[in-house]
Structure 1
């Protein structure tokens, strides 16, 4: 299988260079770009075609959170993994709402960061344990009555697959449909649930008791 293409945004030079070395030294990963800011992120993502953008939040000019939708606009299939010191609810949920698929704190062990990149590419949503706990607490809080999102039976089947952690390929195989059909349903699910990422769709489905 081809290497997972990584683009990295981090303004701390020492950390940026350290992670660049680790990514390049990890079998199955390829660093296609490493930048100190997001000023030209749309152009860079379109040119370099990454599978994953590894993103700090506190960047000069355009913040990492503001940059997430720019990545998705330039490369809709690309995933975004936040790597930051911030563990407050506002930034966590803003990042997820903007389309981030994972959220790690910078004290995460280097090997775990590399493993998270692989996990993300395989369909996972890696999070530092304390972040995952915050997310779960938020979605376990008493909820208002769920809206009728008018998901079709097939869309509900796909949401169940996402909640179970299945990849698009596995969902397609399980439901005897093509991956492109899965992608088409996913777009409709995002629109109906008013979300922008798989992680947000899964969390909302769990929060609203849809599956």
Structure 2
């Protein structure tokens, strides 16, 4: 039980909130003890109980503080937690803002519970799950703008790996796709993080999108 993935859900729709909790708790690998109907309630509880969940499933359209506004506050209280957006909103602005704020994944609510559970495990394994057309939106954000390296001196290989990170591929998937060893991919990632002055995958992706680095 100690190695289970600990998840909290922040969702104002009671039916969906309860169904997510039920689906999660049917898994032997994941558990959900706490759910919240608002961001403010979640922040208060996390601060009071010093809660450090592995994963936070977060809706965007919350009453009061919305999900995008909530991400940096959650990261302050629990910086090691991975945040997965789960929402009906698939417009460019919300996708862009969520990833820039530090979300590790972006899912739409029409996904099956099995795919949501698989996405939770994917994030814990270093992935960045997104619906396919969300990933395409993210890449199009780069193509539709004048892209530049902004003085970070990223090599072509590093740009390629950063682009694959944005697509949501895990380190293992990147290694297989571009025919490199896991060790070599790790080395490239360390160089990317050092050059961008970040310490995590989500921060690297957010910075790449904000500053149009690909």
TM (norm. structure 1) is: 0.77
Q: Report the counterpart of residue 55 of structure 1 in structure 2.
A: 58
Distance 2:9 2:55 in 1: 9
Q: Report the counterpart of residue 88 of structure 1 in structure 2.
A: 91
Q: Is the Cα–Cα contact under 8 Å of residues 190 and 196 in structure 1 kept in the other structure?
A: no
Distance 1:35 1:115 in 2: 22
Distance 1:107 1:43 in 2: 29
Distance 1:67 1:204 in 2: 19
Q: Report the counterpart of residue 174 of structure 1 in structure 2.
A: 183
1:156-200 deviations in Å (ceiling 9; x for gaps): 69x769846328xx9xx827x9xxxx6xx84x555479x962432
Shift of 1:59: 0.6
Q: Is the Cα–Cα contact under 8 Å of residues 7 and 50 in structure 1 kept in the other structure?
A: yes
Distance 1:189 1:45 in 2: 33
Shift of 1:44: 3.0
Q: Report the counterpart of residue 16 of structure 1 in structure 2.
A: 17
Q: Report the counterpart of residue 203 of structure 2 in structure 1.
A: 197
Alignment of 1:125-144 (within 5 A): 125-144=128-147
Shift of 1:208: 2.5
From 107, 110, 113, give the equivalent of 2:110: 107
Distance 1:199-1:148 versus aligned 2 partners, 3 A rule: closer
RMSD of aligned alpha carbons: 3.6
Shift of 1:141: 3.0
SS of match in other structure, 1:95: helix
SS of match in other structure, 1:39: helix
